[in-house]
Amino acid sequence: MKRLLTGAAAILFLSMSAPTLSVAQNPGAHGKGAMRHEMSRPGTIKGLTAREEAAYRSGEGIGMARVAELNHYPGPRHVLDLAEELHLTDEQAQTMERLMSSMKAQATALGAQILEKEQALDALFAAGTTDEAAVHALIAEIGDLKAELRFAHIRTHLATRAALAPEQIAAYDRLRGHTGGDQQ
């Protein structure tokens, strides 16, 4: 019985911790109905999930600065969430607020441009008359905008790190569960 419970606990843990793919990444994962639902959402861009659209509209990072976060470059939102534990000074807290506000404005503007270009791409396919050159041009523009958006998020992590003391960064990493590896 104990062995059965241990096995069940392991399966539950693995199922909860395993990364999942969205319907757009793996349409077969949720059946044909889920993909059909994603494709028929009214007023949306077919090439994006509802989550992606919402993130672009709101300026969310959706993992764009993960490489910074996991290499000891904290983000201002999480620093503010941990302000007490990190013993932020008033000046540091104001800096984090300013960084967040600036990044949010830039990310929201870039997100709107990405959505505009994605809508244009969707319209090309919906018209049924697109060609390779037009698709390539729009995809290149979208790629450039996404690179700028990712850099806006990462640049904010660079500035956040510069505003913190090494012991605050080490504490941040511990509190966020980013342990292991060398502190830079």
Per 3-state DSSP, what percentage of the chain is helix, strand, and coil (rounded to 5)? Answer: 70, 0, 30
Opening angle at CA 79, ends 73 and 72, nearest 5: 20
The pLDDT value recorded for residue 14 is 38
CB neighbour class for 103 (10 Å; exposed up to 12, middle 13-18, buried from 19): buried
* 63 phi/psi in degrees, rounded to 5: 85, 10
Q: What is the pLDDT of residue 44?
A: 83
* CA dist., res. 59 & res. 115, Å (int): 12
Rg (CA), the chain: 21
Query: Are the beta carbons of 157 and 70 closer than 8 angstroms?
Result: no
pTM exceeds 0.85, yes or no: no
Q: How far is CA 133 from CA 124, 129, 130, 139, 140, in A?
A: 11, 12, 9, 10, 11
d(CA 128, CA 169): 52
Distance between CA atoms of residues 49 and 17, nearest Å: 22
- Residue 3: predicted pLDDT: 46
Q: What is the pLDDT of residues 120-156, one digit of tens each?
A: 999 999 999 889 999 999 999 999 999 999 999 999 9
Taking a C-beta distance cutoff of 8 angstroms, is the pair 101, 156 a contact?
no
Phi, psi of 103 (to 5 degrees): -65, -40
